[in-house]
Amino acid sequence: MNAQRHSPNGIEILVVEDSATQAERLRHLLDEHGYATSVASNGREALEQLAQHRPTLIISDILMPEMDGYELCRCVRADQRLNDIPLILLTALTDPRDVLKGLECGADNFITKPFSEEYLLSRIHHILLNIELRKTQKVELGTQLAFKGERYFITSERQQILDLLLSTYETATEKNRELIAAQDQLRELNATLERKVDERTAELKAEIECRKQTEESARHLAEHDSLTDLPNRRLLVTLLDAALRSAQRSRCKVALLFLDLDRFKAINDILGHEAGDVLLKAVATRLSARLRRSDVVARLGGDEFTVLLGELSRAEQAGDVAKEILEIFHPPFQMAGQTLYVTTSIGISLYPDDSDTAEGLLRRADLAMYDAKDQGRNTYRFYNPAVDRRARERVQIENSLRQALAGGGLVMVYQPEIDLRTEKVVGLEALVRWHHPELGLLDPGRFIPLAEESDLIMALDDWVLYTVCAQARHWLDQGVPPVPIAVNLSAKRFESSDLVEVVSRCLAENRLAPEQLELELTERTLMHRIDQSVERMRELVALGIRIAVDDFGTGYSSLSYLKQLPISKLKIDQSFVRDIATDPDDRAIIQAVTALAHTLNKRVIAEGVETEEQRAFLAATGCDEAQGYLFTAPLTPDQLPEVLMH
């Protein structure tokens, strides 16, 4: 802080400038013209001086540390003891918005750097004259004007005109023409200012609107799935957090439903990713159209969807919604010239029962969904703690399966197929088993679905095919009479482009006749792309290989397709055989299928035969073959020669 110098005429000026060189220049200039000066290095230091002494005029730079000129101006105007002190702002800023900002803060004048000393002295002179006039005429310097709904302080240009007018009235009437010219100039300046303000206001409004639209578009893209336009995981977590807070206040429940389409990977593999995307959009449309507006449907990625249900009073309400969702999938989807029957598995987690966080609910709903898949798909399951154990087991099984395919642990057993008329073994079905090092002997239901989901199914199919052919060769070398061996193929292996080549090579390497190999394909696999299926089957039949349709009656094919398919055998699913004794519908279905198959010169085999009553009905119906525990359990390769040689 600098000591104040007294002026003989009583005029004292406070200079606020953080540049020592610039401050000294101003002090020297003002001293030469008889003004007393004091200096502050920033706005905060200036306020400290103003608290002790009131100057006649303040000259302040804008850009300064701690407190800039704008803030100093606001503080002075807010202080009743100081608010009538004139204040001139000095700056190197040239943007018109900076000028407007200074005037809006309450500055009386705005001088840009660099400036001439004469111009600065004239501004000071005019302001001091106005101070004297104000004392006698009550004209307040810095008068505010109402302009198009906003408030502006008189600009530096207007101040010059006002100073000129006041000086003219004081000196002489002979300067009327100068006064009139000044008035004309003021009107012209007003018109120019009004036009520029209108133009700039329109520009700013357009910029703000464009920025808002851009920000809104960016926010939407960040929070929504690009394929379906549903909320994505990021937005779902935000909405779920909000629902949990609301439920905590209202003491209600929140449910999160986790949906995963059943066998969607097969659809992608068979029909292509473009058709898969069309299906996902169709699923999103159905879900959004049928659920309540308050329910949040989101897509997490792939074929995974979620439904957020808030403000529930009972857990059973979530189960009711899950049932409705399963019904939504009942009508088939039409796309790419195909009729697709798609189902979904649903897992449900609840707040506060299962978790009190968004991520916790997501994880547990996901685990419950896998539990639904383990229960046969096309169903829903609520989360329970046992699911965690099964989830860990799934990961363990998948990792171990990769090792088993590479280094052992998988074994084959064979279930005889019995001719119901002669009661002799006329074929074998190859069944893979796995001796897991920790979980013991696992049947296919424990690991085949995992293989299908993790892309291990192709490798597993090939391992089974080569193992069976090698075993058949070994039996022939032992003198065991040959019988056809049925091998189950996955949909992915059947649709692969190299299937015929792989089968041919496997037969050739083991010196097997094609008639010794029978390939079993599920009804669902064949119906995905019927035209391509027929063509692929014809290629296999041309090699001399027999083809059977497994699990017949559980899919969605029309019986009319049977005449198009080059198959030799239909396998009636055990679900129809199980209740033969009590369900007349099952008996009617078996009779109809058997009669139709014989009309088309195809053999019929029933699986899962366990009682004499079942065997007797099948034989009376005309069913050709049967397999099941009534005859024998699956046998190891070492047990088969004795059976086949009798």
Span 599-631, pLDDT tens digits = 889 999 999 999 999 999 999 999 999 999 999
Which residue would you say has higher pLDDT here, 190 or 631?
631
pLDDT above 60 for 158: no
Pick the range with the lowest mean pLDDT from 128-132, 243-247, 311-315: 128-132
> Would you say 367 and 391 are in contact if contact means Cβ atoms under 8 Å apart?
yes
pLDDT of residue 139: 41
Q: Tell me: the pLDDT tens digits for 220-258?
A: 888 999 999 999 999 999 999 999 999 999 999 999 999
What is the pLDDT at residue 146? 34
Which region, left, alpha or beta, applies to residue 83 given φ > 0 means left and ψ of -120 to 50 means alpha? alpha
Q: Residue 290 and residue 333: Cα distance in Å, rounded? A: 16
Note the pLDDT tens digit of each residue in 167-177.
544 454 455 56
Predicted TM-score (pTM) of this structure: 0.49
Computed over its alpha carbons, how large is the radius of gyration of the chain?
A: 45
Buried b (16+ CB within 10 A) or exposed e, 474-501: ebbeeebeebbbbbbbbbbbbbbeebee
Degrees to nearest 5, angle at CA 529 with 468 and 563 = 80
At residue 281, the pLDDT reads: 94
Q: In what helix (H) or strand (E) does residue 408 lie, and over which residues does it extend?
A: none
Residue 73, token pair as written in the block: 């101006």
Asked whether the beta carbons of 591 and 570 are under 8 A apart, the reply is: no
pLDDT tens readout for residues 485-541: 999 998 888 888 899 999 999 999 999 999 999 999 887 777 666 777 788 889 999
- The larger pLDDT score, comparing residue 472 to residue 90, is at 472
Least confident of 30-39, 235-244, 434-443: 434-443
Token digits for 221?
A: 């893209």
pLDDT in the model for residue 212: 81
Q: Is the peptide bond before 114 cis (omega within 30 degrees of 0)?
A: yes
Residues 88, 159: Cα–Cα separation, whole Å: 12
Residues present in the chain in total: 646
Question: What local confidence, expressed as pLDDT, does residue 155 receive?
Answer: 44
Pair 150, 142: CB distance under 8 Å: no
Residue 352 preceded by cis peptide, ω within 30: yes
Distance CA 548, CA 488 (A): 9
pLDDT for the residue 187:
74
Q: Share the mean pLDDT of the chain.
A: 84
pLDDT exceeds cutoff 90 at 360: yes
For the chain, the farthest-separated pair of C-alpha atoms sits apart, in whole angstroms, at: 143
Query: Among 6-20, 62-76, 176-190, which is the least confidently predicted range?
Result: 176-190
